[in-house]
Structure 1
Amino acid sequence: MTEKENIRKSLLAREAGHIPAPNWGKAAERVRGLVEYRQAGVVFAGPDTALDQVRINTLMDGKDLLLPTPGLKEGFLLIRPRRLPARQVRQAATFRQQLQLGERLAAATAAELTISFLVTDAVALDLQGGRLGDGQGFFDLAGAILAETDMLASTYTVVILTGSDRLVAGRLPQEPWDINGSKLISPEEVIELTPPPYPRPKIFWDALPLARIKKISPLWKLKEQRPGA
């Protein structure tokens, strides 16, 4: 078991059944108040339950919402609220309706998108923006795909929606492909993080088994485009 896995297991075991669920709606309202959010035309948000209200607010505020498909297998879904009947806008933020109301992100559409605002959650977070997620790595991989396909803006904000109690002293263990957070937002407060300078996200091909690459359509397409593929 890696150091990350040990920390994750310890934190989750300590909290199991003892801590009431945070008021994620209040945290989502704090996201709404950020200048970076107000300036964004498109918001990338993960599928986590904690982000439900963030996704709803994004669509209700008239912003396009970019979502990963389950396991990133089919890439991304784009939901454009201005193209939906008013009664369906709120529904489109729910997992059940996303596949029906969202459109699979085509290359032509992707070329028009610029993603400058991303939201995810975390099991733990440090003051330098180091994030410990669920261990599957889908957020970091999604960010790398957005960067490799030129959808990620040159300057972007990564908001981590989590409880203030998840902020740890010291530096969490990090991998080269980990994407650091810019801000921690909890129901109670906004904490500015101070991530060190780090290179633009990219795909670390040598760290990805071929079997996994084949299961994720945008990864497979990118691999086929590589010289010598």
Structure 2
Amino acid sequence: MNADWISPEQKSLFRKKAIEEQNDAPLSLEYNGTGKVAERIRRIDDYRNSKNILVSLHPSLRQTCLNVLADQKKLLIPTPGLQKGFMLVSPTSVPPQKRKLAIRPIPNNPFGRKMPYEEPFQGLVDLIITEAFLLGRDGTRMGDGSGHLDIQCAILSSLGWLSPDVRVLAVADDRQIVPSVPVEKTDVRIHWIVTPTQVLAASHDEPFSCEISWEKLSKKQIRRNEALYFLNRRRLISLPH
């Protein structure tokens, strides 16, 4: 076991202490910095070379979503809570004046195609863009505690929709960058850090790897998440009787 891995309880205490030290107002990327971050992302080779990009639903990444479509790349959007899986938006189907509507994770989005779990993803996701509460220069990341990124990546991996060379990019304010943050074994590591003033390549550069920790999920969590429900049924069928 990696000596740097911690338990969920320890991680929660670390996050709580960090918030208290910030006077109960967690640091976050300011609205006027999101445009600068979106433009800096465009200059990164991993972004330029990507074709299918998963972008977090966080408000700080709305301009990035618009840029993805403007740059003629396919956009994969997680639905809220992943209850309805993922939607794929193809840039060729979206007029420029309709891009703001196309990036909305709503059921009646006329430009988003709900991805069926039993079908392969043509092209595979080769870049993931997310936000963070704290980011370590060594590639460690701490989110808001919801675990959305970890479960999204684990589901995509289990579905076979991730490129083996997928890269992870996280955005934050400069004040949110630290040498390292404590992580659990299942936490996703990042390769790039982008702030309004700089682009940092994380010292971590290991192959991407993640899997679903079924033992940590309740039956209710699995039932409420279409993708998890599908994967769990497939898993149970494959188990020896």
TM, length-normalised to structure 2: 0.85
The alignment covers a number of residue pairs equal to: 228
* Residue in structure 1 matched with residue 34 of structure 2 by the alignment: 24
Alpha-carbon offset, residue 12 of structure 1: 3.5
| Distance apart, 1:107 and its partner CA | 3.8
Cα 1:80–1:5 shift into 2, 3 Å: same
Q: Which residues in structure 2 correspond to 1:1-229 (within 5 Å)? A: 2-13=9-20, 14=22, 16=25, 21=30, 23-95=33-105, 99-107=109-117, 110-169=120-179, 171-195=180-204, 197=206, 200-226=209-235, 227-228=238-239
Aligned to 2:5: none
* Larger displacement relative to structure 2 (135-144 or 108-117): 108-117
Of 108-117 and 88-97, deviating more is 88-97
Q: 1:107 to 1:19 in 2, by over 3 A?
A: closer
| Shift in CA distance, 167/211, structure 1 to aligned 2, threshold 3 Å | same
Counterpart amino acid of residue 75 in structure 1: G
What is the alpha-carbon distance in structure 2 between the residues aligned to residue 19 and residue 160 of structure 1? Answer: 12
Q: Which runs of 5+ in 2 are unaligned?
A: 1-7
Cα deviation 1:170-209 (Å, max 9, x = unaligned): x422112110010110010011112264662111111111
RMSD in angstroms over aligned alpha carbons?
2.4
Distance (whole Å) between structure 1 residues aligned to residue 169 and residue 150 of structure 2: 13
Counterpart secondary structure, 2:109: helix
Contact 2:132 2:142 (C-alpha < 8 Å) held by counterparts: yes
* Superposed displacement of residue 228, structure 1: 2.6
TM-score by length of 1: 0.90
Do the aligned partners of 2:74 and 2:88 also contact (CA within 8 Å) in 1? yes
Asked if structure 2 preserves the Cα contact closer than 8 Å seen for 1:128 and 1:196, the reply is no
d(CA) in 1 for partners of 2:34, 2:107: 21
Percent of residue pairs identical: 26
Gaps of 5+ in 1: none
Which amino acid in 2 is paired with 1:11? A
Change (3 A) 1:97 1:32: farther
- For 1:220, what is the secondary structure of its paired residue? helix
Question: Does the residue aligned with 1:87 lie in a helix, a strand or coil?
Answer: helix
Give me the whole-angstrom Cα distance separating, in 1, the residues matched to 2:146 and 2:226. 17
